[in-house]
Amino acid sequence: MNILVMGAGQLARMMALAGAPLNLKVTAYDVNSDKIVDPVSNQVFALDLANAVAQADVVTSEFEHIPYPVQEVCQQSGKFFPNSTAIKAGGDRRQEKQLLDAAGVANAGYRIITNESEFYAAISALGLPLVLKSALAGYDGKGQWRLKTAEDAAATWTDIAAFMAGAEHTLPQAIVAEQFIRFDREVSLVGARNAKGETVVYPLTENHHVNGVLSVSMALPAPEDLQQQAKQMFDAVAAKLDYVGVLALEFFQVGDQLLVNEIAPRVHNSGHWTQQGADTCQFENHLRAVAGLPLGSTALVRPTVMVNILGEDHVDAAVLNIPSCHLHWYGKSKRPGRKMGHINVCGQDNAQLADRFLALAALLPTDKFLEVADVAKVFAARHQQS
């Protein structure tokens, strides 16, 4: 079976690697170069988008910022999973917020802003502090502002107005003003839904961000009630979208309550641990869902930590001396802050994982892997046997 992925980055690459044993052949459409490529070898095929879509059995996506005309070609084919409505909801925070409300899942209070008077109306309605996020093209914390005090409002509006005037979008830009949530931690849920409406979800993953970018994800057995709460929200959102494929929900946890922060209509960075820690990895389950194959078990096989490699193309090979430690490079050229690869480390239990996570952190330079050593220490304090 031939599967065409919109986007030719590491997510398409890891789909291709996971699809090979199932005889699922993955090619990718590079949105930037307008070329059809092999996402592992980067070989370019002499095919245009329309022909590639026509030849594919299934069309899917690895990211949400696909130009609308490209999505239209995919949607028209009748074999685009997840559908264009789901991709658009992931790529536009206005649609995302409306979806969360329509699905009845808790999320941070918000207002949509397009001008100065709406900006001040949002401050009055929601109070301070506020997080302001561009509706379009936001990722990794880009296009975001924090407004803490009324005295800073005028300067923040000046920044936002300049951003909106300078943005090159074919779609109208807007800002979503959101209440600042004082969360206890951030967690995410990755799961899959098939065309029959069946769903499976992985255990909740605890996420640590540095400068708005995911740095560490930890997959441990989650409290049953919290897992249930997340699964209900997942099912509600996925059903509303008639979703097929892997979907990720990012949450703020406040006490025992989850609020959805955002959704990602695709395999997700916080699900990379599933390559070593789950019975079936998220990439295989995504392909199974879109190809109409039975979904695989999402059981946690062993507690696992994932560490992102950001802006570096080398790590000490000694990390491979750590038992159950696996290195995944994406074959990309080095750029500051760029997601270059990740490391998964597993243990039979949390205590063994804590030892190995500490050993891993000790091999990663602290100026390149910001806060990873601190996260490892906190984790060890919680789980290491004394």
Binding residues for ligand ATP, per CB under 6 A? 108, 131, 133, 138-142, 178, 180-181, 186, 209, 212, 250, 261-262
From residue 75, alpha-carbon distances to 9, 29, 80, 240, 248 in Å are 21, 15, 5, 18, 21
Strands (E), the chain: 2-6, 25-30, 35-37, 44-45, 58-61, 110-113, 130-134, 144-147, 175-179, 185-193, 199-201, 205-210, 213-219, 245-254, 257-264, 304-310, 325-329, 339-346
Q: Which does 209 bind (CB under 5 to 8 A by kind): Mg ion, ligand ATP, none?
A: ligand ATP
> Which of ligand ATP, Mg ion, none does residue 120 bind (CB under 5 to 8 Å by kind)?
none
Selection from Mg ion, ligand ATP, none that 354 binds (CB < 5 to 8 A by kind) is: none
Decide whether 178 or 250 has the Cβ nearer to Mg ion: 250
Residue window 61-100: x/- pattern of binding to Mg ion, with contact defined by CB under 5 A: ----------------------------------------
How many residues are given for the chain?
A: 386
The strand pairing partners of 260, in sequence order, are 107, 251
Q: In terms of DSSP H, where are the helices of 92-186?
A: 93-102, 116-126, 153-166
Site track for Mg ion across 215-254, x = CB under 5 A: -----------------------------------x----
| Element containing residue 229 per DSSP (H, E) | helix 224-240
Contacted by 335, from ligand ATP, Mg ion, none: CB < 5 to 8 Å by type: none
Query: Which residue is closest to Mg ion by CB?
Result: 250
Rank residues 212 and 365 by Cβ distance to ligand ATP and give the closer one. Answer: 212
Q: Minimal distance in Å, beta carbon 248 to ligand ATP? A: 9
**Antiparallel, parallel or unpaired: β 213-219 and 205-210:** antiparallel
Q: Which is nearer to ligand ATP, 353 or 372 (CB)?
A: 372
Report in angstroms how near the CB of residue 93 gets to ligand ATP at its nearest: 8
Return the number of the residue (214 or 345) whose C-beta is nearest ligand ATP. Answer: 214
Please state the separation of Cα 248 from the chain's center in Å: 6
By CB under 5 A, name the binding residues for Mg ion: 250
